[in-house]
């Protein structure tokens, strides 16, 4: 966030149930509407078309749920934050719940730049006559994938097809157990040097596999050997105490 600075705030929210089918842009609109309903004293950008200083983290694909979404915004001045989570949640669509609010340090790195790893729970299913996605079958595929030195995928960007090795991005895959329709796996993926979509990982495990329910469970900001959840990475109080 550039220009005039106010009182930065970071919130954590969840996105579950039927609301998972609305887009990232629709979520942004829902929050802006909620901020207006609650009459929050938002700080606006300067220029011909002022916009509230609201900044989202990594986009969540339509159809995916999440326990760990974040956004930053700036207020004109400090206000009590304790009642904010419940107040904003009341003004949001059912299924989007603000679970925590914290004052953010001035000039904290933007979420999209700071988050370096993401954890997912992904349900693997199959269709038609394909072999069921049993835990035993999935475990074999996981072990083979993790043993591979490279994992090249094709991606289309700006009308051009390119290949990328996504193996360095895959940090961990664990088979969590059976579900009603297949098998649940837990995954940790780095966001750099490239990001990997859950659908790409599912296809890499087996072309017969399909995504069932997909849920983002955690996001991490890593600095040296330390890792933080975004809500605790850059709190205003901690940095002020450190400076004094």
Q: Could you read off the pLDDT of 209-240 as tens digits, one per residue?
A: 999 999 999 999 999 889 999 999 988 875 44
Give the whole-angstrom CA distance, residue 212 versus residue 181: 8
Q: Could you read off the pLDDT of 49-60 as tens digits, one per residue?
A: 888 889 999 999
Q: Could you read off the pLDDT of 33-48 as tens digits, one per residue?
A: 999 999 999 998 887 8
Give the whole-angstrom CA distance, residue 174 versus residue 206: 16
Give the whole-angstrom CA distance, residue 244 versus residue 236: 12
**Which CATH number does 115-223 carry?**
3.30.70.3190
Pinpoint the alpha helices (H) of 21-175: 24-37, 84-90, 111-114, 135-147
Q: Cβ of 63: how many Cβ atoms within 10 Å? A: 12
In the chain, CATH 3.30.70.580 covers: 7-104
pTM over 0.75: yes
CA angle 226–53–191, rounded 5-degree value: 35
Task: Kindly state the average pLDDT of the residues 80-104.
Answer: 95
In the chain, CATH 3.30.70.3190 covers: 115-223
* H or E element that contains 240: helix 236-243
Give the whole-angstrom CA distance, residue 61 versus residue 35: 23
Mean pLDDT in the chain? 90
Confidence of residue 6 (pLDDT cuts 50, 70, 90): confident
Q: What is the pLDDT of residue 48?
A: 80
Query: Does the domain at residues 7-104 carry the CATH identifier 3.30.70.580?
Result: yes
Residue 4 region, left (φ>0) first, then alpha (ψ -120 to 50), else beta?
beta
Q: What is the pLDDT of residue 242?
A: 42
Q: Could you read off the pLDDT of 107-147 as tens digits, one per residue?
A: 889 999 999 999 999 999 998 766 778 999 999 999 999 99
- 169-176 long-range contacts, CB within 8 A, separation 24+: 169/193, 169/194, 169/195, 169/196, 170/145, 170/146, 170/196, 170/201, 171/117, 173/142, 173/145, 173/146, 173/201, 174/142, 175/135, 175/138, 175/139, 175/142, 176/121
Q: What is the pLDDT of residue 243?
A: 43
Q: What is the pLDDT of residue 239?
A: 43
Q: Could you read off the pLDDT of 164-202 as tens digits, one per residue?
A: 999 999 999 999 999 999 999 999 999 988 889 999 999
Name which residue leads in pLDDT, 220 or 6: 220
Query: Are 86 and 22 a contacting pair, CB within 8 Å?
Result: no
């Amino acid at each position: 966030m550039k220009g005039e600075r106010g009182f930065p705030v970071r919130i954590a929210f969840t996105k579950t149930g039927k609301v998972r089918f609305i887009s990232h842009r629709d979520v942004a609109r829902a929050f802006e509407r909620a901020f207006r309903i609650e009459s929050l004293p938002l700080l606006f950008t300067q220029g011909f078309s002022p916009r509230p200083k609201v900044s989202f983290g990594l986009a969540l694909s339509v159809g995916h749920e999440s326990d760990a979404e974040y956004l930053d915004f700036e207020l004109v001045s400090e206000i009590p934050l304790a009642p904010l989570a419940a107040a904003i949640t009341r003004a949001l669509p059912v299924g989007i719940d603000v679970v925590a609010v914290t004052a953010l340090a001035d000039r904290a790195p933007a979420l999209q730049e700071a988050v370096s790893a993401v954890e997912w729970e992904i349900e693997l299913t199959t269709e038609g006559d394909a072999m069921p996605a049993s835990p035993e079958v999935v475990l074999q595929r996981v072990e083979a994938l993790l043993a591979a030195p490279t994992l090249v995928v094709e991606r289309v960007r700006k009308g051009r097809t390119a290949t990328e090795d996504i193996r360095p991005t895959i940090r961990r895959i664990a088979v969590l157990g059976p579900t009603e329709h297949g098998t649940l796996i837990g995954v940790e993926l780095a966001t750099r040097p490239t990001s990997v979509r859950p659908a790409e990982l599912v296809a890499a495990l087996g072309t017969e596999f399909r995504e069932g329910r997909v849920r983002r469970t955690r996001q991490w900001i890593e600095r040296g050997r330390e890792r933080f959840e975004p809500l605790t990475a850059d709190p205003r109080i901690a940095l002020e105490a450190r400076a004094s």
